Amino acid sequence: MARILIVDDSPSQLLGIKRIVEKLGHETLTAEDGAAGVEVAKQELPDLILMDVVMPNLNGFQATRTISKNAETAHIPIILVTTKDQETDKVWGMRQGAKAYVTKPIKEEELVKALNEFLPS
């Protein structure tokens, strides 16, 4: 069982993603914006982070860059989960340190595949 941090400012999206992750038997941690996500990542050191992009305070690109550049959290794989579906957004997200990019509305099988690819086995 892995510990997965879900960062999303939409309560309904947070709940939907949380249901999918917990159905797979994983433990979830949550944060409601990028700044809180960075703090939870530093304190809890989750096995993986699912990060929204469009959020107040610190957006998902900024939070991903902060986490992936910090020596304590750089090992944590980050999957961006967002409505931003342009190729330039994907390229930029990967440059910030994300390992994968899943677009909303979320297809459960796509999210499960990304989780299985990046979770330690």
Which residue range(s) make up the domain with 36? 3-118
- Alpha carbon distance 114, 99 (integer Å): 9
Q: What is the tens place of the pLDDT at every residue in 38-73? A: 999 999 999 999 999 999 999 999 999 999 999 999
State the maximum Cα–Cα separation within the chain, in Å, rounded to a whole number.
34
Within 13 A of 14's CA, how many CA atoms are on the CB side?
Answer: 15
Structural domain count, the chain? 1
CB 121 within 8 A of CB 99: no
Chain centroid to CA 77: how far? 8
Grouping H, G, I as helix, E, B as strand and the rest as coil, residue 79 is strand
Q: Is the pLDDT of residue 121 over 80?
A: no
**Average predicted confidence (pLDDT) for the chain:** 96
DSSP output for 38-71:
HHHHHHH--SEEEE-SS-SSS-HHHHHHHHHHST
Whole-number Å distance between alpha carbons of 39 and 56? 15
Instruction: Please report, for the domain that includes residue 112, its CATH number.
Output: 3.40.50.2300
Note if the pTM is more than 0.95.
yes
